């Protein structure tokens, strides 16, 4: 079950030292994530989009909407960290959000467009930051303090993680 839930491995681990090269790879992953997500769902029928990626998991449709909204939340956390001193950020109630009507009623194409726009804005923001800006931080009430350099790694992991959930479902189902 863990392999179905975490096809690329469990959650991103905060790193003590992030190299400039690693940060650039992560930013590249973020930039590439909209096209990879689009490829992952390409050609899926409405029934396939409504298939859970694992038993008791979200549907593919919910995963796509979650990625768009999750990245929107991440983007605002970056903005708060860049403009305030160690702001405490709100917790995203992911499971509750995934059960709201818009996850079912908003067209999947809208979620893909939102994801692409947010990722583009985030990449532009990240590429314009000075090295010291990445040491700014926000405080998450559950997981603690996150420097922006580690948050970049988390965001890159997040996109790869959810896209892999979809692609691994496709492989298992022979889609």
Question: In 3-state terms, what secondary structure has residue 140?
Answer: strand
Q: For residue range 100-114, what is the model confidence (pLDDT) as tens digits? A: 999 999 999 999 999
Interatomic CA distance for residues 51 and 4, integer angstroms: 14
Which residues form the domain of 135?
41-173
Answer whether residue 69 is part of any domain.
yes
Answer whether residue 134 is part of any domain.
yes
Q: What is the CATH number of the domain that holds 78?
A: 1.20.120.450
Answer whether residue 87 is part of any domain.
yes
Answer whether residue 9 is part of any domain.
no
- Domains of the chain: total: 1
pTM metric for this prediction:
0.94
Q: For residue range 59-74, what is the model confidence (pLDDT) as tens digits? A: 999 999 999 999 999 9
Answer whether residue 20 is part of any domain.
no
Interatomic CA distance for residues 30 and 44, integer angstroms: 23
Answer whether residue 10 is part of any domain.
no
């Amino acid at each position: 079950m863990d392999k179905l839930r975490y096809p690329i491995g469990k959650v991103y681990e905060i790193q003590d030292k992030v190299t400039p090269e690693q940060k650039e790879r992560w930013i590249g992953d973020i930039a590439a994530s909209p096209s990879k997500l689009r490829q992952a769902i390409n050609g899926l029928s409405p029934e396939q989009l409504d298939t859970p990626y694992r038993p008791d998991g979200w549907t593919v449709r919910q995963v796509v909407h979650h990625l768009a909204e999750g990245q929107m939340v991440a983007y605002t956390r970056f903005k708060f960290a860049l403009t305030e001193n160690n702001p405490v950020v709100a917790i995203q109630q992911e499971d509750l959000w995934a059960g709201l009507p818009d996850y079912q009623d908003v067209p999947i194409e809208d979620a893909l467009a939102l994801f692409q726009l947010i990722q583009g804005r985030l990449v532009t923001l990240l590429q314009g930051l000075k090295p010291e800006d990445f040491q700014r931080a926000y405080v998450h009430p559950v997981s603690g303090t996150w420097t922006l350099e580690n948050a970049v790694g988390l965001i890159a992991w997040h996109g790869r993680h959810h896209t892999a959930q979809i692609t691994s479902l496709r492989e298992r189902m022979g889609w």
